[in-house]
Chains A and B, each alone.
Chain A
Amino acid sequence: MNRPNLLAHSRIHRRGLLAGAGALALLGSRPARAVLNIDINRGNPQPMPIAIPDFVAGSPGDIEAARNVTSVITNDLRRSGLFAPISPQAFVERITNGDAIPRFQDWRVINAQALVTGGITRQGDGRLRAQFRLWDVFAGQQLDGKQYYTGPDNWRRIAHIIADQIYETLTGEKGYFDSRIVFVDETGPKDRRVKRLALMDQDGFGVRYLTRGDELVLTPRFNPTTQEITYMAYGQGEPRVYLLNIETGQREIVGNFPGMTFAPRFSPDGQRVVMSLQQGPNANLFVMDLRSKQTTRLTDTPAIDTAPCYSPDGRQIVFESDRGGSQQLYVMPANGGPATRISFGDGRHSTPVWSPRGDYIAFTGMIGGQFAIGILRPDGSGERILTEGFHNEGPTFAPNGRVLMFFRDLGPGPFLYTIDVNGRNELKEPTPSYASDPAWSPLLS
């Protein structure tokens, strides 16, 4: 293991000596032996086995709350498809103190790679204190740990927030569990459907109705910044686009247009609403500033331009248009201008929606009487179909851009489904009855 001696020459003059010393210093900074280097350029993505024992209750009265919080966290992580919660029956160690270091050996034997411990304690003022710790079982160290205070009715949100925290620590991506879905709840026989706007947590719990059902409601969309919804309603007279504050119940008409307005959507800053305005046989895109109430025309074509959606940076708008003969997707600058067609796959493309992550645009594809949900990149490349069948429609992205929700009608009525952008992990969303037109809210916190 001898290193060649750089100073072996018998006659060394000063400069040579210095150079040699410099070179030696350089060599010295390297490891003494050649370390073998192995490239692992392929992994084996699988749901990560995670153990979530029941949170420890601070008092006997909190046992139920602790158990509920644990089950919501477990359910969130399981539904994401990225985690495989281990059955509590397999647990060796019983967690009795949410703050103590667990016996990692006991969790390694059941092959848990991550472990969540925590506790729920009722404070003197009636609030709940929830705290959790996330452990890396094989490294034997804590990865994360936080505590939250909330009102006792808010335990569900706290559970979602903890699940988001675990998700982000283990996957490196923002979670999406602390978010809500607005959708059209459908009841009654097919010819006399009652359609109401409804709101629920992303896991299908806590359903709340926002309208009474005396008018037809369509295409609800969330404001990305506040708890506000825009949607189209058919009451008496012309269908109109409305704004609805879901906290106060207050609603207003967007713009004073002479004709039907539809397919509204907020800009990413929540300050504007872009929508379609029917003008004779054609429809064009307009944007309205919500503060100044000023409206601007974006397109002026003898065609049906509709379903506009902003890019997450607010600079571009993707929309569908039949200007080329059939419904296809186009992208144009947010303040109007020349539009570029981006969809060139088979069939027609409609209802585009831009991922909050900016990397994909999801759409409804129509080929030969079948309705599919697909995605493509904003430049039109990489188009792929995630699910197809008789009727799938209206995709909406989760706040982290990883999951899509859409509705599927197999005949009797529609239901909501989720699917990952990679086409895996398709799940039915629990809803009280038929449901369509879902829109995913941004993260609540």
Chain B
Amino acid sequence: MRMRTASAISAGVHIAVLLWATLSFTGKSFDAPQPDPLPVDLISDKEFSELTKGIKEAPKPVEKPKPLVEKKADEVKPVEEVKPKIDDKKPEIKPTAEQVPQPPAPPKPDAIAEKLKSEPDPRVAKADPTPLPPHKPPRPQPKFDASKIAALLDKREPERKAALGSDLNTSPSLGAPMGNAAKLSQSELDALRARLMALWNPPDPGRDAERLRITIRITFTRGGMLAAPPMVLTSGSGPRFMAMRDSAVRAVLIGQPYTMLRPEHYDSWREIDFTFDTSEMYKDLPTR
């Protein structure tokens, strides 16, 4: 009998403790600062394969792009070097030491061969038992004449070329393992954010400044203008709310046109929600 009472008490106390623990240890979730959202586009399988398949009729690379140099150096005649002949059919390399260098075979429209030809493989050159080119007599050292400095100046016209993206990367894609959809880059986002931060003139904060947040949805045209009047998603009332809301809308209106948004990424910035809040601004007021 006593045993049973004891067990009952024990069970009761256990249940009470467990209940208490369940109720009181629920605790607060850890609040991590929300990371900046990255632009994400949901796409279907079909769209993915369309993005990754490449273009069949893309022009094949034939020529090596011209090097981007400020000044073109004089043509340096190759010292009598025998080029290894490279042929698809005959991958074997023949030593051609004693032979007179033959004119190279007409180039075939083959990218790899072309590339290899223009850049002689150092390994091949090493294996080649070609004798060293005949030693030339040393050229007489030109005497430096201070009165003829003008003659020493390089008078060639500089050849400038703009380093466009198409110059730097000319290889047409024949398909890539990863789909790289056009999306708003971080630098565009930063430029957009910086522009609005510079233009936003928030009203002076009251005591509850940190709690006022205004979200505005903007629909843009492709030219970076507002396609429709700003839509305020936050509801509120009172002069403080209205002054804050108007200041945010004003900043968005003044910021037009948003030229930092590139038209090729239009799909990702056609519609943006801007959230304005002053929470970061008044954290660091000077104290004594």
Contacts and interface: CB of A to CB of B under 8 A. Distances in A.
A384 interface: yes
Contact of B271 (A35, A82, A383, A384): A35
B203 A170 contact: yes
Contacts of B288: 345-346, 374, 383-385
Contacts of A384: 285-288
Nearest to A360: B207
Interface stretch (A41-49, A181-189, A204-212): A41-49
Interface in B143-181: none
Contacts of A136: 246, 250
Interface in A30-46: 31, 33-46
A383 B287 contact: yes
Nearest to B256: A138
A42 B194 CA distance: 9
B272 A169 contact: no
Contacts of B239: 168-169, 172-173
Interface in A157-206: 168-173
A36 B37 contact: yes
Contacts of B63: none
A31 B271 CA distance: 11
Contacts of A43: 197, 200-202, 247, 251, 276, 278, 281
Contacts of A1: 42-44, 47
Interface string A335-353: 0000000000110000000
B243 A169 contact: yes
A49 to B, nearest CB: 9
Contact of A45 (B202, B274, B280): B202
Contact of A172 (B47, B189, B207, B244): B244
A326 interface: no
Name the residue among A170, A358, A382 with the largest chain B CB count within 10 angstroms. Answer: A170
Given A43-B197, A43-B201, A170-B203, A37 B287 contact: no
Contact of B200 (A40, A82, A385): A40
Given A173-B203, A345-B288, A41 B241 contact: no
Contacts of B61: none
A90 interface: no
Interface residues on B, range: 35 or more
A36 B158 CA distance: 46
A279 to B, nearest CB: 34
Given A36-B39, A345-B288, A172 B44 contact: no
A402 interface: yes
A42 B197 contact: yes
Contacts of B249: 139
A215 B155 CA distance: 94
A31 B238 CA distance: 29
Interface residues on A, range: 35 or more
Given A37-B37, A383-B288, A82 B246 contact: no
A68 interface: no
Contacts of B241: 172
Interface string B195-218: 011111111101100000000010
A359 B40 CA distance: 43
Given A1-B42, A41-B280, A36 B268 contact: yes
Given A35-B273, A38-B275, A172 B285 contact: no
Interface string A349-388: 0000000011100000000000000100000001111000
Nearest to A31: B271
Nearest to B216: A40
Interface in A120-161: 136, 138-139, 143
B95 to A, nearest CB: 63
Given A42-B280, A43-B201, A384-B286, A172 B42 contact: no
Contacts of A2: 44
A345 B247 CA distance: 37
Contacts of A34: 39-42
B36 to A, nearest CB: 7
Nearest to B230: A139
Contacts of B82: none
B128 interface: no
Contacts of A168: 239
Given A36-B184, A138-B250, A143-B246, A172 B278 contact: no
A41 B277 contact: yes
Contacts of B275: 37-40
Interface string B248-288: 11110110000000000000110111111111110001111
24 contacts: A1-B43, A1-B47, A34-B42, A35-B271, A36-B184, A36-B271, A37-B273, A38-B192, A39-B274, A40-B274, A40-B275, A40-B276, A41-B280, A42-B278, A43-B201, A43-B247, A43-B278, A44-B197, A44-B200, A45-B204, A113-B250, A139-B253, A172-B240, A172-B244
Given A43-B251, A139-B253, A171-B243, 5 more contacts: A37-B37, A38-B192, A173-B204, A173-B239, A383-B287
Interface of A: 1-2, 31, 33-46, 48, 82, 113, 136, 138-139, 143, 168-173, 345-346, 357-359, 374, 382-385, 402, 422-423
Closest A-B pairs by Cβ, 10 of them = A172-B243, A172-B240, A43-B202, A43-B200, A138-B253, A41-B280, A171-B203, A2-B44, A37-B273, A172-B239
Interface of B: 36-37, 39-44, 47, 184, 189, 192-193, 196-204, 206-207, 217, 229, 238-244, 246-251, 253-254, 268-269, 271-281, 285-288
